[in-house]
């Protein structure tokens, strides 16, 4: 039936083979990295080993060591074909998202750009804890915690060769394109958005300021106006990016120059930019470049990550592990036992 396309477990976008999109939209999808866990030993650093549990769709850690000795290792790689990646440093070819021969290391495949967004997100947190443990209610605050979240999603995906990992929000609506091959033409608008670079967004500041509307509430000359003071407060929130940490590369000089050219409704702009629906390419709330919409979508995927957010248990029915479910395969549905009574 053809190849099995592999997809990033952070953004849900495809990995493209090197050289297929050079200097074209989608080029950023050609640069993967592999995450795996390692631990310190007296002889140096060793890969953690995971094994399959007979009759269960889960993986267990073989190396029973303290979490303080474990960390996530990121390695540059290139995408080969199907679900195979070539580690740049060692030249070793490895699969992603599953163990080999019932016991091996596990590699999670991510885009290099998505890894950068993860680091940006963690830096934006007030506190960052370099630990694996995380609450099922709190946002992640370390790469270790995100690894743990994704790993628990992997355990819900089943054994065998996997080309992607399920996500509770279908990667904010793009999982419909998770096909045997990446075929963005099946939904051109969404496909074009996924292929837009989320890090390097040309004219980002200017594009955002094009949405700025005049503040018609009070004339600027009335210095005692509370409305004017309120707009200054919203301007400061905008330029310091406290409300919008995903816009870290906003050009503050350009924004300050704009502030002095008229009376602007900064409150309305900030509130519109705070809406998560602006990540959708068809959303008409603001005129935004697709790269920025894609960034906001990926940021939300990271922002929403919670331990155990794939609330289901899968097992062979004959062994008695099956749990009645409702919902569609990609919707992150919950067991009936956990659903509220009608």
Any domain includes 57: yes
Higher pLDDT, 332 or 21: 21
Instruction: Looking at the structure, tell me whether residues 194 and 169 fall in a common domain.
Output: yes
Closest alpha carbon to 70 in 50, 34, 43, 41:
41
pLDDT tens-digit readout, 190-246: 999 999 999 999 999 999 999 999 997 655 544 545 556 799 999 999 999 888 999
Rounded Cα distance between 218 and 220, Å, is 6
Any domain includes 16: no
> In this structure, what token pair is assigned to residue 279?
């990540």
Any domain includes 149: yes
Instruction: Looking at the structure, tell me whether residues 49 and 169 fall in a common domain.
Output: yes
Closest alpha carbon to 272 in 289, 288, 295:
288
What pLDDT score was predicted for residue 216?
Answer: 79
Predicted confidence (pLDDT) at residue 57 exceeds the cutoff of 70: no
Query: CB neighbours of 95 closer than 8 A, spacing ≥ 6?
Result: 83, 84, 85, 107, 161
Residue 120 — pLDDT band, cuts 50, 70, 90? very high
Instruction: Looking at the structure, tell me whether residues 193 and 216 fall in a common domain.
Output: no
Residue 1 — pLDDT band, cuts 50, 70, 90? very low
What pLDDT score was predicted for residue 228?
Answer: 60
Instruction: Looking at the structure, tell me whether residues 81 and 56 fall in a common domain.
Output: yes
> CA 235, 238, 240: angle at the middle one, nearest 5?
105
Instruction: Looking at the structure, tell me whether residues 259 and 276 fall in a common domain.
Output: yes
Average pLDDT over residues 41-56: 82
Lowest mean pLDDT among 100-114, 267-281, 313-327: 313-327
Predicted confidence (pLDDT) at residue 332 exceeds the cutoff of 80: no
The torsion of the CA quartet 285, 289, 293, 294, rounded to 10 degrees, works out to 160
> In this structure, what token pair is assigned to residue 334?
């919950």
Any domain includes 278: yes
Phi and psi for 179 in degrees, rounded to 5? Answer: -110, 180
Instruction: Looking at the structure, tell me whether residues 50 and 191 fall in a common domain.
Output: yes
Any domain includes 332: no
Any domain includes 160: yes
Structural domain including 164 reads 27-199+301-310
What pLDDT score was predicted for residue 179?
Answer: 74
Instruction: Looking at the structure, tell me whether residues 145 and 61 fall in a common domain.
Output: yes
Any domain includes 259: yes
The number of folded domains in the chain is 2
Any domain includes 337: no
Instruction: Looking at the structure, tell me whether residues 173 and 223 fall in a common domain.
Output: no
Instruction: Looking at the structure, tell me whether residues 143 and 99 fall in a common domain.
Output: yes
Q: Model's pTM, two decimal places?
A: 0.85
What pLDDT score was predicted for residue 278?
Answer: 95
Instruction: Looking at the structure, tell me whether residues 60 and 191 fall in a common domain.
Output: yes
Instruction: Looking at the structure, tell me whether residues 149 and 269 fall in a common domain.
Output: no
pLDDT tens-digit readout, 164-185: 788 888 888 887 777 777 887 7
Single residue among 240, 255, 287 that ends a domain in this structure: 287
Instruction: Looking at the structure, tell me whether residues 211 and 195 fall in a common domain.
Output: no
Higher pLDDT, 132 or 278: 278
């Amino acid at each position: 039936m053809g190849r099995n396309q592999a997809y990033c477990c952070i953004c849900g976008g495809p990995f493209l083979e090197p050289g297929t999109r050079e200097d074209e939209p989608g080029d950023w999808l050609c640069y993967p990295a592999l995450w795996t866990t390692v631990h310190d030993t007296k002889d140096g650093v060793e890969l953690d080993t995971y094994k399959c549990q007979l009759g269960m769709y889960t993986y267990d850690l073989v190396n029973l060591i303290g979490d303080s000795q474990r960390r996530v290792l990121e390695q540059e790689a290139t995408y080969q074909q199907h679900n195979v990646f070539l580690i740049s440093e060692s030249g070793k070819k490895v699969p992603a998202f599953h163990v080999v021969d019932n016991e091996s290391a596990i590699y999670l495949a991510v885009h290099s750009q998505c890894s950068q967004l993860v680091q940006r997100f963690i830096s934006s947190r007030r506190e960052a804890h370099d630990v694996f443990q995380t609450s099922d209610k709190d946002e992640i605050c370390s790469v270790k915690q995100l690894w743990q979240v994704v790993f628990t999603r992997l355990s819900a995906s089943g054994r065998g060769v996997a080309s992607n990992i399920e996500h509770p929000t279908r990667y904010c609506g793009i999982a419909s394109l998770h096909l045997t091959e990446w075929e963005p033409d099946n939904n051109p608008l969404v496909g074009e958005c996924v292929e837009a670079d989320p890090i390097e967004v040309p004219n980002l500041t200017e594009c955002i300021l094009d949405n700025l509307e005049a503040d018609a509430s009070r004339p600027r000359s009335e210095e005692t106006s509370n409305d004017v003071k309120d707009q200054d407060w919203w301007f400061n929130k905008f330029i310091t990016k406290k409300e919008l940490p995903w816009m870290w590369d906003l050009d503050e000089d350009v924004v300050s120059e704009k502030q002095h050219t008229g009376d602007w409704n900064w409150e309305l702009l900030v509130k519109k930019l705070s809406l998560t629906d602006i990540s959708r390419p068809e959303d008409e709330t603001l005129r935004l470049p697709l790269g920025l919409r894609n960034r906001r979508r990926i940021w939300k995927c990271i922002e929403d990550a919670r331990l155990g957010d794939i609330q289901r248990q899968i097992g062979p029915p004959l062994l008695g592990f099956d749990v009645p479910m409702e919902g569609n395969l990609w919707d992150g549905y919950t067991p009936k036992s956990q659903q509220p009574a009608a």
